[in-house]
Structures are given as C-alpha cells and as structure tokens.
Amino acid sequence: MLEPTTPQEKIFAGARLRRLRREQGLTQAEAAEALGVSPSYLNLLERNQRPITARVLLALADTFDIDVRGFAEGSDRQLVADLEEAAAEPVLSALALDRIELTELAESQPRAAEALTRLHQAYRESTGAAAEMMSRISGGAHVGAGGAPEAVRDAIDAQRNHFPELETAAEDLARKLKLVTRHRDRTLEDHLQDAHGVVVRVFEDAVMGGTRRRLDFHARRLMLAESLPLEARPFQMATAIALLEQGELIDELADRPGFAAKEARTLYRISLANYFAAALLMPYSAFLKAAEASRYDIELLCRRFEASFETVCHRLTTLQRQGERGVPFFMVRVDLAGNVSKRHGGGVLPFARSGGGCPKWALYEAFRTPERLLRQRFELPDGSAYVSVVRAIHKPGAPGEPPVRYAVAVGCEWENAERILYADGLAETDAAKIGLACRICERPACAHRAFPPMNRPLQPDPWRRSLSPYAFDEG
C-alpha cells in the first residue's frame, strides 16, 4: 500500500479524482486497490482533506493512462467557459460571479457545475424556441429540436472524440481486407458486393436530387453523386459499411449518453458511423506513426492517405488511444456567416456556445486567402496559449448553386509546439490576444469588440471615445 507523503506542491483534485473513478465504473474500494492505497485514504483524497501526492499521480497515470499534467493543472476549461456564459445571463449577472468563483465551483463540484450549464443551455434553447415560435406562429411553422447537435457535440467531447471499440473494429476490417490506400476504392466496392450484395454506382446530381449518398435497399445499390470529390467516395463507401456491419456496436455506443431527444441519438449514430469510416481509411497506428514522423504535416497526411484537409484534421482530434496517444488537437469549422457547424474541443480548447467568435483569430481571415494555410499563435484571456492552422475549403453546393465555403482550424496547446511543424518560426511575443466571444471576453481597449461583456456593467461616456466602442467596468 502507498502511504501518504508530503508533496512539494499541494494539489487538491478530489472532485476530478471522484469523477475519474465514476467514469471508470469503480467503487472506492476497487479504485483504492488499483491505485495501491487504502480506501480510507482515497476517501480523504476525494473529499480534498488530503492533497494528491506525486506517487498517487504516477499511480493514476499507470492505472488509467491519463495525462497527469492535465489532471493536476486545473478544472475543465470548457466547463468553466460554459459557467462564464451562464453567469453572464441577465438573470444571474447581478450576482457578479467572477472567474475565480466559477473555477472553484467547477473544481469542487463538477457535477453540480455541469448541471448548472445544462440548465443554462436548456434555458437558452427554450427562450430561443419561444421567440421563434412567436415569429412563426401566424404561419404555423414547425420548430425543430435545435439542441440536438449541441448535445451530440457534448457527448463526443466527453469521450475526447475517441472510441476504442470502433478503432479496433476498423483496424480488424482493414487488416482482413488488406486495405491499401492506392486501391481502396476497388477493395471497398468488392467488399460491399461480396459481403452484402450491394453494388456501387455513381449518378448525375439531377438523378440524386441533392443527395450525396443513398443506399437503395430494394435495388441493392449504393448510389453516390458524381459531384462528390474522388477522395470523398471511399469515405462514403466506408460509412455505408459501418452502418451495415457495425450497427449493433454503434447502437450500443449511442445508448450510453442517454440522450433525451431521439434526434440527438440519430445524429450521434451518424457521427459514430463517420468515425468508423475515418478509422477504416486511416488506421490508427499507421496514421499516428505518419503524423509523428512528419511532425503533423497535414498536407503530407492528405497526400499519403488520399483524404481531404478537413478529414485529416478531424482524424487528428481522435488520437487518444490508451498507451498510444498523439498530440491532443482541437478542431472547428465555420461558414462565411461565422456559424460553427463542427467543433471538437477534446478538453484542449473551450468554445463559446453562443455569439460569434473572435475576428482576431486567423480562422476568419482564411476566407480571404482560400486554399492557403494560415499559421497563428494565440492566447486566451486566462493566459493559455495555442498554435492553430487554418485553411478555407469548399464543398459542392446544391445543383445550380455555388460551392459551400468553410474555414477549418485545427490546433493544440503551445506546450506541444516542438512536436508541430507549423509552430516553427512563430514567436511567443507575437501571439494574437483573442477571446472566446465578445459577450464573455473582458479584454479592454479592443477595437474589434462587437458587444460589451455581459458580466461587466457598461460605463458609457458621451465625452470620451475609446478604442473599443463599449466602455465597461474592468473590475
């Protein structure tokens, strides 16, 4: 048994330790045995009556394969960001809850903090739905389940966008098929026909009616639109294989989050099928080896695995296999209007759930330089630093319409800069000072500010015009 020792630096992380144990489905006695401590000592650790020692941190890393730096450094960044948004609402802003108080709540009572953020999210959705209903009531329009995509994103982030069961199943199939990148189109077509009696056919967009992929069960055909880029067709075939062969596993995984809305579960199933497709076309070990050897050269990975920039960026966010981890990446995709249509924080970068992003991030500059990679080092108000790579991309639009344009950003914490090709030459002194969103950013004197921070009282002065259009109490 490990005995408590006096640490050089006291770390109280009882709430995170308790949450980790519950995520592993262990009782205190089982966790104590796994860590080599007594149940009574583990109970004291979880109640923050004893600091977590270096020896216990090492036992945690060895037993649960976690990054102890992330475990010891502080609370969940996304959870704190969500709490800040909730505290900035008019119904709570009068309490003037500051970041220190919110961080303490996230650290000491993470489940209660998460309950508060879910309540805030439900509040925003209900008020938004009510406003939409009022605007459409004369026409009798249907109001859909707008909260389903956000629930799915939360569920994926809770898994750090890594699903070991799907990775294993994909690697097994890739090995069975002897899947090679250069010939995978034919291999996947043959497998669909041999295993399922499904033939792959490419049709004109007019025939597909705006659909990119459709499985015609009656005719046993997988129909693909000719507007799909060549590198996207294997992905669509692999997604169909996932739904045909991994339905039971996908259903089991889709049941775990306990979605309240059936639409959320269906969207989650689609995400899981897409995950399997990426894992099949870019097998974990081979992809990670190539990524590490090239220092995460995205363009090289695109060529080697014949995948799009977005697909490779998405795959980079999944490299969290126990005992074989890559650099933790985040990813976000926005359209020309600034709408976030895809995001994966992975515990790396928190995102604002409402309002626009920060225009000082190169993410929004990318639309001016399509197909060019933009590198940037940026810092958030809490001092955390990141390196990001951004590129504008386009996808086929509806028949007769222009392409759909997006900007995709992928990045990691600056502490991993030496492992990232794109960090070379970026000086620490040149970091862009950005915020998550204007409404929760408290940076003063920002010429880009579009809204005042919701948790700071305005102090307008008609005789003074500052750099920012809004003057507020900086606390």
Chain segment 302-326, per-residue pLDDT in tens: 999 999 999 999 999 999 998 899 9
Asked whether the predicted pLDDT for residue 13 surpasses 50, the reply is yes
- pLDDT above 70 as % of the chain: 87
CB 335 within 8 A of CB 406: yes
C-alpha span between 413 and 184 (Å, rounded): 35
User: What integer is the mean pLDDT of 268-295?
Assistant: 97
- Residues pairing with 222 in the sheet: 200, 215
3-class DSSP state for residue 39? helix
Q: Are strands 330-335 and 404-413 parallel, antiparallel or unpaired?
A: antiparallel
Query: Structure tokens of 335?
Result: 């359209």
C-alpha span between 38 and 59 (Å, rounded): 13
Q: pLDDT grade, residue 76 (50/70/90)? A: low
Q: pLDDT grade, residue 113 (50/70/90)? A: confident
Asked whether the predicted pLDDT for residue 288 surpasses 70, the reply is yes
Fold entry, domain 325-438: Beta-Lactamase (3.30.450)
Asked whether the predicted pLDDT for residue 136 surpasses 60, the reply is no
pTM: 0.74
Q: pLDDT grade, residue 94 (50/70/90)? A: low
CB 46 within 8 A of CB 26: no
Gyration radius of the chain's alpha carbons: 24
Q: pLDDT grade, residue 295 (50/70/90)? A: very high
Name the average pLDDT for the chain: 84
Select the more confidently predicted residue: 36 or 105: 36
325-438 shares the fold of 14-73: no
Domain boundaries, the chain: 14-73, 325-438, 442-475
**Residue indicated by tokens 């950013």:** 441
Write down the pLDDT at residue 87.
77
User: What are 168-185's pLDDT values in tens digits?
Assistant: 999 999 999 999 888 899
CB 317 within 8 A of CB 410: yes
Q: pLDDT grade, residue 2 (50/70/90)? A: very low
Question: How far apart, in Å, are the Cα atoms of 252 and each of 153, 156, 277?
Answer: 18, 15, 17
Helix (H) or strand (E) holding 279: helix 262-281
Q: pLDDT grade, residue 53 (50/70/90)? A: confident
Write down the pLDDT at residue 141.
39
Asked whether the predicted pLDDT for residue 220 surpasses 90, the reply is yes
DSSP secondary structure code for residue 361 in this structure: S
C-alpha span between 226 and 203 (Å, rounded): 6
Helix (H) or strand (E) holding 265: helix 262-281
In sequence order, what are the residues at sequence separation of 6 or more whose Cβ sits closer than 8 angstroms to the Cβ of residue 47?
Answer: 14
Lowest model confidence (mean pLDDT) among 145-149, 246-250, 272-276, 324-328: 145-149
CB 42 within 8 A of CB 60: no
| CATH code for the structural domain at 14-73 | 1.10.260.40
Select the more confidently predicted residue: 323 or 87: 323
Select the more confidently predicted residue: 455 or 458: 458
CB 407 within 8 A of CB 459: no
Helix (H) or strand (E) holding 200: strand 199-203
**Residue indicated by tokens 């002065």:** 461
User: What integer is the mean pLDDT of 65-82?
Assistant: 66
Asked whether the predicted pLDDT for residue 411 surpasses 80, the reply is yes
Asked whether the predicted pLDDT for residue 1 surpasses 50, the reply is no
